Chain A
Amino acid sequence: MTDHSFIKHRLFPVGTILLAIVAIWYAFVVPMNAPFQRDLDRRAGVTSTTAEFLVKTMTQPKPTLPAPHQVAANLWKNTLMVKPWSKRSLIYHSWITLSATLLGFAMGTALGVAIAIGIVHIPALDRSFLPWIITSQTIPIIAVAPMIIVLMSSIGITGLLPKALISTYLSFFPVAVGMVKGLRSPDVLHLDMMRTYSATPMQTLWKLRLPASMPFFFASMKVAVAASLIGAIVGELPTGAVAGIGSKLLAGSYYSQTIDVFAALIAGSVVAILLVTAVDVIGRIVSIRMGAKTP
């Protein structure tokens, strides 16, 4: 019964939508690549039949819109046919971006939790700092990214850390805001009960507030991990970094290698899906271990 409804309400509609996206994609490939192909044919003095022409629009080396199978072939070639640690491998570039993301995400989460604990316990911090955290979310923080990268490289820090710092910057806001909500989520009754046990603030934090905040923690970590991946990718743009998904995007856009750009985009999406899924799975395990009913 449940399996049947899963297929009917999840797999089938989602599959249809994904198939429709691929179909629309193919439908756009021909008209978008046609003008350039016609140009090529005219210059070469070739007149091709409609069928030949259609095939040609889907096999250009630098198409305006690459066909899905071209992107798939590029992905296949750059992940499975080369050694994972070679400079041509997308796995290598994904790993470079992923390592910056993870470091930044870990620092951002730690910072966000620390700020949230401070805000919950110090009223002055709550009144003065929290409004600024919320305001800062309305600011396009990414604008600061090039500056951080260039500044840090001018004082001799390059590589992983500057990118990770941008990730930290992007990911600590959601965690801080979510955790403030989470740490304040326990019932007044429960807080009063801790008081009747004459629990110290530390004990209340450890035994009541932190466990109660776990659903908020994982929900905001999902947002934060996606944000830190964006931070890491954007962090690779300004200096023309030599490795990472962002540098692949930039190089592809310089040389109009659209197939490479799409392949890098898909690599980035796969990393994002893996990260969000990982956070989700850990969140589920934690909530089951804490005694939540299995859904």
Chain B
Amino acid sequence: MTLFRPNWQALLSLLATLYSLTAVPFTATMNGSSSYLVIALLLLGAIGSMLRLSAMLEIAILVVSSLGAAALLIGGLTDATGTANAGYFAGLTAAWLLGWRLVTVLSGDGRNLGTLSSLLVPTLFGIWVLILWEAIVRGTGIPFVLLPPPSAIAVRVTTSTSILMADFNQTVLKAVLFGYIVGSLTGFIVAILADRYRFLANGLLPVGNMASALPMIGVAPVMVIWFGFDWQSKAAVVVVMTFFPMLVNTIAGLASAGEMERDLMRTYASTRWQSLFKLRLPAAMPFIFNALKINSTLALIGAIVAEFFGTPVVGMGFRISTEVGRMNLDMVWAEIALAAVVGSLFYGALALLERAVTFWHPSYRR
């Protein structure tokens, strides 16, 4: 048992750090001492992670060294866009490798950290995507019209909150919500009807399955012609898009209750409605929630794309298509970030609701 425990991420990181020593200072405005501080941090992390330390200490060293070095490197780009040299990127690579090492340690020895690590690891990954995006875009001076750095997008989000809120109101609160509720509800009701009349189900299921694969988004121009430019046409597109997944999933879900349970209901002399409400609808819940989740994404896509076909001068899809034309890419990314947050929250809320409703399902058993 030696004191050393080499790993390839730390070794590569060490090599990259040594290379970056040849190119101090890293950027036009970064002074030598902060460049050396970065190198010192990286050396600390690389060597620290190769020593036989306790997992907690190694994690602490890696967090401080990788994130600290990254913060200093990004800070060194102030007023120095596009002036980063090869040493800068070697340092960045070294920091990223240490970040990878950190994730490896967390996922390998992370069992004792439990849920904390299962949240921490993806968060670190997200942070690193942002760090690399920011540092590479600003370090190499990629033109703003191609890809704005995350910091510029964040600034745009805070300065144009009112526009974003207006677009959110138009697209999400009016078109998506209305269309989602009406579309899912109609699909559900037709599925209940189809369940009552076997013939209808036999006919609708293949048609619905096929329709789920069709590019339903294509009805958008028709709906704009029928219902005008405002949110009603977008809601109609969402209704059409969300109807079939709900129909197909609910029909499949209602058929999913086991033969034994159905026989049991029959021996209880339960009526059709009793059996539906007490056995088959609860059994169909995982399927229904699956459809609700699929629909949450489809609804946002439908509303945004329908706005490409004509809209009043407000709405997320409208903003995206016009600001792209005006090369205001930070605004486009701000809308995308908004869409991402809305989509994730929508999905997350559904997942929580599903957990509360289908708590009995085996996939939630511990």
A contact residues vs B (CB 8 Å cutoff):
9-10, 13-18, 21, 32, 64-65, 123-124, 126-129, 131-132, 135, 137-144, 146-147, 150-151, 154-155, 222, 226, 229-230, 233-234, 237-238, 245, 249-250, 252-253, 256, 258, 261-262, 264-265, 268-269, 272-273, 276
CA A24 to CA B126, docked complex, whole Å: 50
Contact B224 A253 (CB under 8 A): yes
B122 touches A142 (CB 8 A): no
- Chain B residues near A155 (CB-CB < 8 A): 146
Given A64-B226, A143-B320, A276-B213: A131 in contact with B202 (beta carbons within 8 A): no
Q: How far is the CB of A134 from chain B (nearest CB, A)?
A: 9
**Cβ-based interface call for B200 (8 A):** yes
How many residues of chain B get a CB closer than 8 Å to chain A's CBs? 64
State A14–B207 Cα separation when bound (angstroms): 7
* B125 contacts across to A, CB distance below 8 A: 128-129, 131-132
In the bound assembly, the distance between CA atoms of A13 and B197 in angstroms comes to: 11
Which chain A positions have C-beta within 8 A of B179? none
Q: Which of A64, A154, A230, A258 contacts B215 (CB 8 A)?
A: A230
- Tell me which residues across on chain B come within 8 A of A249, comparing CB atoms: 218, 220-221
C-alpha gap A268/B215 in the complex (Å):
7
- 29 contacts across the A-B interface (CB closer than 8 A): A13-B200, A13-B202, A16-B203, A123-B104, A123-B108, A124-B103, A124-B107, A124-B108, A124-B121, A127-B121, A138-B296, A138-B297, A139-B340, A140-B339, A143-B316, A150-B325, A155-B146, A233-B215, A234-B217, A238-B321, A245-B218, A250-B221, A250-B309, A253-B222, A258-B222, A264-B218, A265-B218, A268-B214, A269-B215
A258 to B218, CA, bound (A): 12
Give the residue among B117, B221, B310, B346 with the most A Cβ atoms within 10 A: B221
Chain B hits for A142, CB < 8 A? 301, 304-305
Binds A, one of B18-26, B65-73, B180-188, B329-337: B329-337
| A253 pairs with B207, CB closer than 8 A | no
Report the bound CA distance from A234 to B320 in whole Å: 14
Residues from chain A with Cβ under 8 Å of B202 in the complex: 9-10, 13-14
The distance from the CB of B171 to the nearest CB of chain A, in whole angstroms, is 10
When distances are taken between beta carbons in the complex, the residues of chain B under 8 Å from A261 are 218, 221-222, 225
Q: Cβ of B346: which chain A residues have Cβ within 8 Å of it?
A: 138
Contacts of A230 in B (CB 8 A): 215, 217
List chain B residues, Cβ under 8 A from A9. 202
**B300 nearest CB neighbor, chain A only:** A140
Contact of A253 among B214, B225, B329 (CB under 8 A): B225
Question: Is residue B264 contacting chain A, with contact meaning CB distance below 8 A?
Answer: no
* B100 at the binding interface (Cβ < 8 Å): yes
Please give, as numbers and ranges, the residues of chain B lying within 8 Å of A127 by CB-CB distance.
103, 106-107, 110, 117-118, 121-122
Instruction: Please indicate which of the listed interface residues B125, B215, B225, B320 has the most CB atoms of chain A within 10 Å of its own CB.
Output: B215
Q: A13-B202, A123-B104 are in contact. Are A128 and B214 (CB under 8 A)?
A: no
Known: A237-B308, A258-B222. A17 touches B203 (CB 8 A): yes
Q: In the complex, A14 Cα to B208 Cα: how many Å?
A: 10
Q: Which residue of A lies closest to B107 (CB)?
A: A127
Tell whether, in the assembled complex, residue A150 and residue B324 are in contact, meaning their CB atoms are under 8 Å apart.
yes
Tell me which residues across on chain A come within 8 A of B104, comparing CB atoms: 123-124
Q: Residue B63 at the A interface, CB < 8 A? A: no
B122 near A131 with CB under 8 A, answer yes
A185 CB to nearest B CB, Å? 15
CB distance from A84 to the nearest CB of B (A): 21
Q: Which 3 A-B pairs have the closest CB atoms?
A: A253-B221, A13-B203, A17-B203
A246, chain B: closest CB distance, angstroms:
8
Q: Mark B57-77, 1 if CB is under 8 A from A, else 0.
A: 000000000000000000000
User: Could you tell me the distance between the alpha carbons of A250 and B222 in the complex, rounded to whole angstroms?
Assistant: 10
**Which residues of chain A have C-beta atoms less than 8 A from B347's C-beta?**
138
Which residues of B are found within 8 Å of A265, using beta-carbon distances?
215, 218-219, 222
A132 CA to B128 CA, complexed, in Å? 13
CB A250 to nearest CB in B, in angstroms, measures 7
B121, B199, B206, B301: the one within 8 Å of A128 (CB): B121
CB nearest neighbor in B for A238: B321
Q: Let me know if B153 is at the binding interface, CB within 8 A.
A: no
- Which chain B residues border A64 with CB–CB below 8 Å? 225-226
Q: Is B116 an interface residue (CB 8 A)?
A: no
- CA–CA, A16 and B203, complex, Å: 7
The 8 Å CB contact of A139, one of B110, B217, B339, is B339
Complex interface residues of chain B between 85 and 139 (CB less than 8 A to chain A): 100, 103-104, 106-108, 110, 117-118, 121-122, 124-126
Query: B329 → chain A, closest Cβ, in Å?
Result: 7
- Chain B min CB distance to A265 (Å): 5
Contact between A143 and B336, CB atoms less than 8 A apart: yes
Q: How far is B221's CA from A268's CA once the two chains are assembled, in angstroms? A: 14
Is B204 a contact of A17 with CB atoms below 8 Å? yes
Chain B nearest Cβ from A73, distance in angstroms: 18
Task: Check A268/B344 contact, CB under 8 A, given A140-B300, A146-B321.
Answer: no
Q: A10-B202, A64-B226, A150-B325 are in contact. Are A124 and B100 (CB under 8 A)?
A: yes
On chain B, the residues within 8 Å of A16 by CB distance are: 199, 203
Question: Which residue on chain B has the smallest CB distance to residue A264?
Answer: B218
CB of B253, distance to nearest CB on chain A (Å): 18
Tell me if B317 counts as interface (CB < 8 A to partner A).
yes
> A24 CB to closest chain B CB, in angstroms?
13
Q: Are A272 and B214 in contact (CB under 8 A)?
A: yes
Q: Determine the chain B residues whose CB is within 8 A of the CB of A32 once the complex forms.
A: 226
Given the complex, which residues of A lie within 8 Å of B310, measured CB to CB? 253
Assembled-state Cα–Cα distance A258/B220 (Å):
12
Q: Does B343 contact A (CB under 8 A)?
A: yes
- The residues of A that contact B199 with a CB separation of less than 8 Å are 13, 16
Apart from A123-B104, A140-B339, 4 more pairs, CB < 8 Å: A127-B110, A138-B340, A155-B146, A269-B214
